[in-house]
Amino acid sequence: MPEPPAMRWWGWGEPGHPPALGADALAFLREHVGVADTPSLPVALGAVQVESSALSPDAAHALREVVGQQGIRVDHDERVLHAAGKGYPDLVRLRAGIPEGAPDAVLHPRDRAQVRGLLEVCARHALAVVPFGGGTSVVGGVSPLRGESHSAVVALDLGALRGILELDRESLTVRVAAGMRAPALERELGGLGLTLGHFPQSFEYVSLGGCAATRSAGQASTGYGRFEEMVTGLVLLAPAGDIDLPAIPATAAGPELRRMVVGSEGTLGVIGELSLRVRAAPATRQYEGAFFRDFASGVQALRALAQEHVAPAVARLSDEAETGMSLALAGSGGLKGRLGRSYLGLRGYGGGCLAILGFEGTAEEVEHRRKRALALLRRHEGLPVGQSPGKAWLAQRFASPYLRDELLTQGVMVETLETATRWSNLERLHREVGGAIERALAAQGTPGLVMCHVSHLYETGASLYFTFLARQREDAIEQWQAVKHAACEAIVDGGGTITHHHAVGHDHAPWLEREIGIAGISAMRALKQQLDPAGIMNPGKLLP
C-alpha cells in the first residue's frame, strides 16, 4: 500500500498540481473583489521560522523507547508539515513563513500498542498530544497548542495505522485502522463493488479517524448519511484506557458512547479503529442542474424533496450571489445553451438560483427517484437545465481548496463557514449571517463577495455554507478574525449551530457554550477529566 500522500506544506494538494485560475476568473476577481498588483508566493520551506524543539532529552528517550528512532522526527521540515491545518489563517501564516508554532516532535506510531505506549509517555512527561490524520482541519483542529502545564507538544501522526482490518460483506461493515485515508478505502471498496459514500471537499487527503473525530458530513450526506451515521463501532485509545465498542446495528444499552467519541476532536483520546457501514456502489449516477426563480422557492423545493423522501444523494442550492458568480466564471468557459443568461432571462429566471441534484443508485432507483423529484421541483417552478451543470460540479467537487491557494497568491482573502438550522429559520439565518459578513467586510474597508448554498438536507432542516472573498489587507489575520467573529455571532444569535461539518477546533470553541450551555460544557469536561486525567489530549480545542 502506498504511503498517504503528503500535501504541500503551504497549501492544498501535492507538489506539481497544475494551476486552475483562468484568465476569465482572474478578470472577474479584478473587477468585483480586487487583486494584488503582484502575486505573492510562499516563502521557501527552509525559511519557515520554528522555534527549536522544547522536547527534553528524557522525554525524547522515552518516546524512542516506544517507537524507535524512525518513529520520532524533530527535523525542521517534518515539524513545519505538522505545524497547522488548512484553514485560511493557517495558510496565511505558513506562506509568510511564520506559523503560530510547530510541534516539538512528530510521532509516527505503527500500531495500537505503540499509540498506547506513546500516550503513557506523554502523560508522564506532560507532553500535549495533537492527533494528526490528514491534517485538513479548517478550524485549527490540529494546531500545535499546549497549555501552561505542558513541557512540550507533539503531533501524533496516524498515517501508518491504515488498511482494512476486516470486511463483513454480509453485514456491509468494514473495520479499518483510523489513519487510513478516505480515497484508499474507496479504492479498495470500489474493487469489491462497494462504497462508503463519504465525500467531503477534503476527500482526497482526509483520514477516516479525522472524519470521525470531527463528525464530518460529506457532499453526498443527504443520500449516504453523515459520517457519524456510518460508524457502527470504534476503538478509542484514551490515556485512561481503551473504549472498544464492537460493530452493532443498534442498541438501547445506555447513552450512545459511539456518539460521545465521534466529535470529540482528539480531546478524549486517539480514535484507533472504526467499524463503518458501507453500501453497494451505485451503478448509475446522474447529476444535473435546475433553476429556481429565487432562493426562497428553491429552499421550499429542497424542503419538499427531503420531507417527501425523494431527495437525491447530493442536493445543493446556490443563492443568487453564488449562482451569479458560477455563471460568470462558467460563461465563456464552455457552459452554454440552457445555462446562458439570455436563455434564462427569456424564461424569467435571469436573476435566479441554480441547484445541483445528484442521483445515485441502481438504474431503477435513480429513474424512480428522479422522476418524483423533478415533479416536486416543477411544483416550485423549478426549471431543469440538463446535465452540464451537474457534470461541471462533479468535475470540480474537490477543487475549491486548490483555488484558494491561487487566490492567496493573488492577494485575495477567501473563507468558508457553515451552519445548520430548521427549515422555518433557514431563510432568515441566510439573510442575517450573509448580512453580518457583508457589514464586517465593509467595516474592514474591503467590501467583497458573499455567497451561500444550501446543502445536506434533513427532514427538519438543512445546512448553509457561506463563502466570502475580499481583497486581502496587510493585517490579514486581524481582517479575517473580525469577519469570522461577526459571522459566528450572527450564527449563534440566529439560532444556527456553530458548525454543521467543519467541527469546533480552536476557532469555534468560544461559541460552544452559547450552543450547549454551561452544564453541557461541564459534562464534556467531566468526561475529559475521566478519560484524559493529565489533560494531554489536544488542549485548546473543542472546549473553551
Residues 503-542 that bind a copy of itself (CB under 8 A): 503-504, 508, 512, 515-520, 522-527, 529-531, 542
Least Å distance, CB 527 to a copy of itself, is 6
- Residue 73 or 453: which CB sits closer to a copy of itself? 453
Q: Does 243 bind a copy of itself (CB under 8 A)?
A: yes
Select from 1, 39, 424, 493 the one that contacts a copy of itself (CB under 8 A): 424
**Rounded to whole angstroms, how far apart are CA atoms 375 and 390?**
18
Q: Are 191 and 197 in contact (CB under 8 A)?
A: no
Strand partners, 194: 280
- Residue 43 or 296: which CB sits closer to a copy of itself? 296
Least Å distance, CB 268 to a copy of itself, is 8
Select from 15, 57, 309, 474 the one that contacts a copy of itself (CB under 8 A): 309
Select from 3, 37, 170, 474 the one that contacts a copy of itself (CB under 8 A): 170
Q: Are 156 and 107 in contact (CB under 8 A)?
A: yes
How do strand 412-422 and strand 353-361 relate by DSSP bridges?
A: unpaired
Grid cell at residue 319: 443563492
Q: Give the torsion sign (CA, 83, 515, 536, 133).
A: negative
Within 10 angstroms of residue 197's Cβ, the number of other Cβ atoms is: 24
* Binding letters toward a copy of itself, positions 90-129, x by CB under 8 A: ----------------------------------------
Among all chains, which residue has been given the C-alpha cell 518516546? 63
- Residue 34 or 495: which CB sits closer to a copy of itself? 495
Q: Does 420 bind a copy of itself (CB under 8 A)?
A: yes
Q: Are 454 and 531 in contact (CB under 8 A)?
A: no
Q: Does 459 bind a copy of itself (CB under 8 A)?
A: yes
Contacts to a copy of itself from residues 463-482, by CB under 8 A: 463
How do strand 127-132 and strand 241-245 relate by DSSP bridges?
A: unpaired
Residue count, binding to a copy of itself (CB under 8 A): 91
**Rounded to whole angstroms, how far apart are CA atoms 533 and 64?**
23
Q: Does 215 bind a copy of itself (CB under 8 A)?
A: yes
Contacts to a copy of itself from residues 274-303, by CB under 8 A: 277, 279-280, 303
Q: Are 156 and 130 in contact (CB under 8 A)?
A: yes
Q: Does 149 bind a copy of itself (CB under 8 A)?
A: no
Q: Does 190 bind a copy of itself (CB under 8 A)?
A: no
Select from 15, 255, 334, 337 the one that contacts a copy of itself (CB under 8 A): 255
**Rounded to whole angstroms, how far apart are CA atoms 340 and 93?**
40
Grid cell at residue 494: 440566529
